[in-house]
Chain A
Amino acid sequence: MAHGPATLADGWKAYISRWVFTTNHKDIGTLYLWFSFAMFILGGAFAMIIRAELFQPGMQLIKPEFFNQMTTMHGLVMVFGAIMPAFVGLANWMIPLMIGAPDMALPRMNNLSFWILPFAFAILTSTLFMEGGGPNFGWTFYAPLSTTYAPESVNFFIFAIHIMGASSIMGSINIIATVMNMRAPGMTYMKMPLFVWTWVITAFLLVAVMPVLAGAVTMMLMDINFGTSFFNAAGGGDPVLFQHVFWFFGHPEVYIIILPAFGVVSQIIPTFSRKPLFGYSSMVYATAAIAFLSFVVWAHHMFTVGMPIAGELYFMYATMLIAVPTGVKVFNWITTMYKGSLTFETPMLFSIAFVILFTFGGFTGLMLSIAAADMQYHDTYFVVAHFHYVMVAGAVFSGTAAIYYWLPKWCGKMYNETMGQVQFWVAFIGFNIAFMPQHFLGLAGMPRRYADYGLQFADWNMVSSIGAFIYGGAQIMLLFNVVMTIRKGKPVVEDKVWEGAEGLEWTVATPAPYHTFEKPPEVK
């Protein structure tokens, strides 16, 4: 038996060494999860500044240049710092447990892919304190605003993006290698839990598109420092090229964010329905179809750049098609619940809210795919509302569900159900108050990334800000619930924490021992 993990009782040096040098998938998963939560709070703080400034028309708290830095940093930190690492953390913790593997296939690379992330975000955040300020060109950093017209700190931003990309690529290769090589005997591909499937597909997406992002920022670096003109019209370049390259990364990126969330929900809904997932194989195929389509629809973000009509029509039709596999997933989840034996513990509440609100975001997505109407929606708050419905009510709700669902297995303690449900309702209500009115604002004509607005938008902006503060408060409650569970939660002894849970992760002891499946389990 290998020695156990160092605790504080072994002295702080040993304790710190454990976390810095760890190659244990559970430790690294924990690191990823805490890191992503810290980034979630940071990105949330930026959002609170944005909503506080937009509470009323006029510039009250900050200047427009700082406002632009806040919208940019909020997007970057939430996408690359909060959501993506959170799901990598879940993958680290759960994939080996779900496929009966003792650890990830490449444990040292696993350590590296985590430990470069704090440096990337330290670099990114430090730009806010530099002369000229941090990135102020939006998380989509369109050239030439992000090249010729960017603050000098843009070079640090580019470096940070490169590090994040390297981290994501290493994490993905690790997941692919683990799933391909480390499955327990009898764990065929079509027996893998859906969370594993969605993550494998996500990992392939990441490996495919992260280098494209690296290419985009490298071209920016060349334009800024070495006199090239990739995106500079004056030198014969093309600013629209940047958008094509960016969205060739950016559109698969949104599925990178949502596919693991689909996986989580596909684990939780069967558990609390006490019934197997309906349409397992069609779920797998639908996920693969969505991943494939995500590569061929990128220019629907660019309907107003003046593409030829044939291009617009193609991207419109291809985008509309995504509704089909996405619809299959929603129908499967609901049919899983049909004739089940339903209970509504906190993870289930978050998962049901996920299905409803994500579907709502899917509807607005379908509306956005119609190019003629998109000419009116594009770059307004309607789009902001749409992608917060799919990213927050999608990815963040599902991540929260995952925490409540697996926390007892991780720490051997049960969260307080009442507190969990209260947190759910505060988050659910706050979220809808924050983002539902943004649909109206966008349709009425308020563009996104506006530091200030005309008086006709005042009412809904105030409502939206109040909702955002409530939703922000819900995240503090989540932190409180998790910390209280770890410190004072009621101990759980059963291996199978939830009555209806299925899968290998529920066959190991609770809390999950430091080393599991040293002998591979037999899967029938």
Chain B
Amino acid sequence: MLKRAQALFLSLLSLVVLLPIAGSALAESSASQLNMPQGVTEVSQVAYDIHMIMIWVCTVIGVGVFGFMFYVMYAHRKSRGAVAENFHEHLGVELLWTIVPTIILIVMAFPATTALLKVYDTDNPDIEIKITGYQWKWQYEYLGEGVKFMSELNTSLDEVYGRAPKGEHYLREVTEPLVLPVGKKIRFLVTGNDVIHSWWVPDFGVKRDAIPGLFTAGWAKTDEPGIYVGECTELCGLGHAFMPVVVEVKEEAEYNEWLAGKKAEAAEYASTIGKQWSAEELMVKGEEVYIRSCAACHQANGEGIPGVFPALKNSPIALGAMEGHIAILIDGVAGSSMQSFAEQLSEVDIAAVVHYERNAWGNNVGDVTQPLDVLNYKQSK
């Protein structure tokens, strides 16, 4: 009996006393796999520092408290002949272990406050970027520059569903990353279009909820070029795990070059809007847009998910008048998860996807939707 109690006790001891110690040792190791990243901005650094202070304070208290507890469990066992005493209160001790923790907390409140002030120091930015969360992608708008684009997952569904081997950057790659220059203070203004999302880049220490009807602000300034990957951290529906954040920080010259390129692209696009597209071109472009922006809900085969997302195959809207079909994409459907795509997709994209939906999966309307039709609808409103 004694042997078994000792064996049990020892295993308990080794497992449990080691937990906080192992935890802090792991935290000290350089592998970012186990600990919070130090990151590349002041904000991520203060978060890391206060995190490590807390870990050490907790470890010291934990070792003390659990150490005493294990001593008691060893020394005052009945099997060792311990006889219980009968004391059950001691004002001095009770006051002591109320006051001492209070003092520790007050001391810790100082670095915690300083750190938070740093997080909130969003004034006087060099560059402002509006970030809008959509189900399930991000839109980045460079305020005052006329540059705006969507950034969405670039990992194929085949990789997700195991029909193709997973690439090195599985779920950490996007169609177009947010590009930032080094050495500039950047303010992020984060908002949501449909449900609440949350924009998080661990290496920047920036996590701000993207809430419809509200802006939240965060900031970053870094001197280290590189690619930084983050995530959406607020449950936003079935694509929650599939809308990563990728940020590419470039040297200033490269950034300026990139920005000029984006502006030229926008100007060029404006000139293509009046072009007449052929049915074949629209089908190819439309399928691409559909898979990227529509298939998550309406499914690749156009059959939707019964009871949640309506089928487009044989739907009265897809088979009805073209203007009604365009209207759904531009205006959305109030009170449902069908949002307005007017801001997310270009006129060309909308024309192509409308054409595709009217002529795919056995839908056979046969008309051709041109970007100008979309533009006309927008202007008629």
Contacts and interface: CB of A to CB of B under 8 A. Distances in A.
Interface of A: 57-60, 63-65, 68, 130-133, 136-138, 142, 144-145, 148-149, 151-152, 233-234, 237-240, 273-282, 304-306, 309, 312-313, 316-317, 320-321, 323-324, 327-328, 330-331, 334-344, 349, 352, 355-356, 359-360, 363, 366-367, 370-373, 375-376, 378-380, 421, 425, 428-429, 432, 436, 439-440, 443-456, 460, 500
Interface residues of B, number: 117
A238 B117 contact: no
B8 interface: yes
Interface in B1-57: 5, 8-9, 11-12, 15-16, 19-20, 23, 26-27, 32-37, 43-44, 46-47, 50-51, 54-55
A320 B84 contact: no
A337 B69 contact: yes
Contacts of B8: 344, 349, 421, 425
A254 to B, nearest CB: 19
B241 A451 contact: yes
Contacts of A356: 16, 66, 69
B235 A142 contact: yes
B306 A131 contact: yes
Given A59-B161, A306-B208, A343-B77, A277 B54 contact: no
Given A238-B213, A340-B84, A359 B65 contact: yes
A445 B202 contact: yes
A359 B233 CA distance: 27
Contact of B241 (A366, A367, A445, A450): A450
B35 A320 contact: no
A444 B109 contact: no
Nearest to B305: A65
A234 B213 contact: yes
B258 interface: no
B171 interface: yes
A333 B196 CA distance: 43
A321 B12 CA distance: 30
B50 A240 contact: no
Nearest to A236: B213
A372 B50 contact: yes
A124 B86 CA distance: 50
Contacts of B88: 275-280, 336
A447 B214 contact: no
A312 B116 contact: yes
Interface stretch (B97-105, B282-290, B313-321, B356-364): B97-105
A376 B336 contact: no
Can you list the 8 inter-chain pairs with the closest CB atoms, starting with the nearest? A233-B213, A131-B307, A306-B216, A132-B307, A372-B115, A363-B58, A450-B241, A379-B233
A132 B232 contact: no
A448 B207 CA distance: 14
Given A444-B37, A454-B229, 10 more contacts: A64-B239, A148-B337, A305-B216, A339-B84, A342-B76, A344-B73, A371-B112, A372-B116, A379-B233, A436-B23
A136 B236 contact: no
Contacts of B233: 378-380, 447-448
Contacts of B84: 273-275, 339-341, 500
Interface in B107-152: 108-109, 112-113, 115-120, 135
B211 interface: yes
B62 interface: yes
A149 B98 CA distance: 48
Contacts of B79: 343
Contacts of B337: 148-149
Interface string B271-302: 00000000000000000000000000000000
A340 B65 CA distance: 17
B378 to A, nearest CB: 19
Contact of B47 (A68, A352, A372): A372
A279 B89 contact: yes
Interface stretch (B162-170, B248-256, B345-353, B366-374): B162-170
Contact of A342 (B16, B27, B77): B77
A317 B160 contact: no
Contact of A240 (B16, B33, B44, B211): B211
A425 B93 CA distance: 34
A454 B105 contact: no
B196 A367 contact: no
B212 interface: yes
Nearest to A145: B195
A334 B68 contact: yes
A293 to B, nearest CB: 13
Given A309-B120, A342-B76, A378-B233, A359 B105 contact: no
Contacts of B230: 445
B195 to A, nearest CB: 4
A144 B236 CA distance: 9
Contacts of A376: 36, 44, 47, 51, 202, 205, 207
Interface centre among A151, A341, A352, A359 (most CB of B within 10 A): A341
B78 interface: yes
B81 to A, nearest CB: 9
B341 interface: no
Contact of A360 (B62, B90, B109): B62
Contact of B215 (A152, A282, A306, A355): A306
A462 B49 CA distance: 30
B226 interface: no
A432 B19 contact: yes
18 contacts: A149-B135, A233-B212, A234-B212, A279-B90, A280-B89, A282-B89, A309-B117, A328-B94, A336-B88, A360-B20, A367-B55, A375-B47, A379-B233, A425-B8, A436-B19, A444-B35, A452-B171, A500-B84
Contacts of A349: 8, 12
B198 interface: yes
Nearest to A149: B337
Contacts of A371: 112, 115-116, 119
Contacts of A133: 307-308
Contact of B78 (A137, A305, A341): A341
Contacts of B102: 324
B185 interface: no
A449 B240 contact: yes
Contact of B54 (A131, A278, A370, A380): A370
Given A330-B65, A337-B72, A376-B47, A445 B37 contact: yes
Nearest to B297: A65
B339 to A, nearest CB: 9
A169 B55 CA distance: 39
A342 B79 CA distance: 8
A208 to B, nearest CB: 26
Contacts of A338: 72, 76
B217 interface: yes
Contact of B15 (A131, A316, A343, A432): A432
Contacts of B236: 145
Contact of A68 (B86, B90, B238, B306): B238
Contact of B166 (A57, A276, A323, A352): A57
A273 to B, nearest CB: 7
A324 B19 contact: no
B131 to A, nearest CB: 13
Given A148-B336, A239-B211, A379-B234, A372 B119 contact: yes
A375 B8 CA distance: 40
A328 to B, nearest CB: 6
Nearest to B51: A373
Contacts of B237: 68, 136, 145, 149
B362 to A, nearest CB: 23
Contacts of A149: 135, 194-195, 237, 336-337
Contacts of B86: 275-276
A132 B9 contact: no
